[in-house]
Amino acid sequence: MKSSKRLLLLLVVGFMLHLQLTAQNAKQKTAVDSRPNIILILADDIGFETLSAYGSVSYKTPRLDKLAQKGMRFDQCYAQPLCSPSRLQIMTGKSNFRNYERWGYLNQNETTFAGILKSKGYATCIAGKWQLKGDEFAPYKSGFDEYLLWNIVDTSSTYNERYKNPRVVQNGKSIKYNNSEYGPQIFSNFIKNFMERKKDGPFFVYYPMVLSHRPFVPTPLNEKAYKNFNVVRKGEPGGSPSDTSHFKDMMAYLDKNVGEILDKVNELGLSKNTLILFTGDNGTGVGINSVMKDGKIIPGQKGYTNEYGIHVPMIAYWDGKILPNQVSDNLVDFTDFLPTICDAANIKLPSTFITDGVSLMPQLLGKKFQPREWLFAHYDPHKEPFQKARFVHNKEWKLYETGEIYHVSIDPLEKNKISENDLTPELKNMMASFKAVFLKMTNVVEEKAVKVKKVKKKSADDEDE
């Protein structure tokens, strides 16, 4: 009798433990499944003036316009003037003075948004443009489970091989297409396939597009021209020259590719659980002039630190979370993307992780949010002919570390320097606050230099031993 009671008691206790574990597992699974998928699309060489949602009449971008209508459009988003500095900044959440070493290079010891998300159970994918050096393992080291990339490994020979008949590397395997395949479409298809396979989520997609960077060449939307043009390696004769008249079609194809990603999200029934962010990596290429609704002509200023070299579009969409038809005039920096993405994924960054960005999620979700009062930029791309520059700016004014002051809201090309003596007392106080930012950042740089010097000295001492 006692044995029966003991057995019954053990069975009851075991059943209760089973129920408790089942409830805990269900709770954990629900927490995991509730984490949103995240898609970050980074277009190449497009300033804010290239989207009709921002007032352009030179190009038609209906899918991006609709995305902006359904979500939040940011009118004051700023990148670096060139792609490599911007890519490092957006992926690591750090200003360039902290970790930018040389042109087109990502130190594999850097923690990226993909590495953070992967460590928390996200499936991660990148497709498009790499331009960060390293071998075929570099994307894996940066936190991506899968990749399809142009401009990786043999970067010197592939400059013109991003569009027709591209040369790419897919998960460590080099592929050369030769049957008129179009690179941007291949990248889009790769991402759609990844989302199909990972639809049970959560997943993170980083889509650094190759469009609409030069060479400006025909797209499949212009079937006859596309069929007849040839692509050759950089420096080799016989290829079609870059022609800015094709930029319009390239923008149309960029819009088409973004639309395909949106359609796939909807097809998979994931729109309620997917945050989509779209932006550009720097200003539009020099030689491209865009006309706005008010008749104003905006010249592409990629590479330069004026307004048209750094002012880029940004759109955020999350069905049911971000209210539609919102326009934000708050300042946004490229360092803000990493903390925003981590916040959306409910990932708390460790106190040891340094970021110069702030999460935009409170603003996106309509919660209390403290906008930035200024942005700081450290620009030293190590690429000719562009010179080092450091500046602080808001929506109206800019101060360079070398002392030049510009009223950028009315002088976006920075043609008229303003003397500090001519400023109002209020503006002089603003410039004093900007100067304090330089001092703060200079101290950080000097501290970093001392640490590097100590490490090098220790390494030299070790070698001597």
Eight-class DSSP state of 358: -
Pick the CATH number of 37-373 from 2.60.40.10, 3.30.830.10, 3.40.720.10, 3.40.50.800: 3.40.720.10
Q: In angstroms, rounded to a whole number, what is the distance separating the alpha carbons of residues 238 and 232?
A: 7
Residues in contact with 364: Cβ distance below 8 Å, sequence separation at least 6, in sequence order? 72, 316, 318, 321, 322, 340
User: Sorting pLDDT into bands at 50, 70 and 90, what band is 29?
Assistant: very low
Q: In angstroms, rounded to a whole number, what is the distance separating the alpha carbons of residues 21 and 15?
A: 10
Average pLDDT for 450-458: 45
Tens digit of each residue's pLDDT (9 = 90 or more) over 215-271: 999 999 999 999 988 776 655 555 567 889 999 999 999 999 999 999 999 999 999
What pTM does this model have?
Answer: 0.88
Look at residue 451 and tell me whether its pLDDT is greater than 60.
Answer: no
Residue ranges covered by each domain of the chain:
37-373, 389-464
Give 280's Cβ-side CA count (13 Å radius).
32
- Residues constituting the chain: 465
Q: Is 191 exposed, middle or buried (0-12, 13-18, 19+ CB in 10 A)?
A: buried
Tens digit of each residue's pLDDT (9 = 90 or more) over 139-169: 999 999 999 999 987 666 677 789 999 999 9
Token code pair at residue 241: 């020259």
- What HEC string does 395-433 produce? CCCEEECCCCEECCCCCCCCCCCCCHHHCCHHHHHHHHH
Ranking 12-16, 43-47, 170-174, 388-392 by mean pLDDT, the lowest is 12-16
Question: Hey, what amino acid is at 130?
Answer: W
Residues in contact with 235: Cβ distance below 8 Å, sequence separation at least 6, in sequence order? none
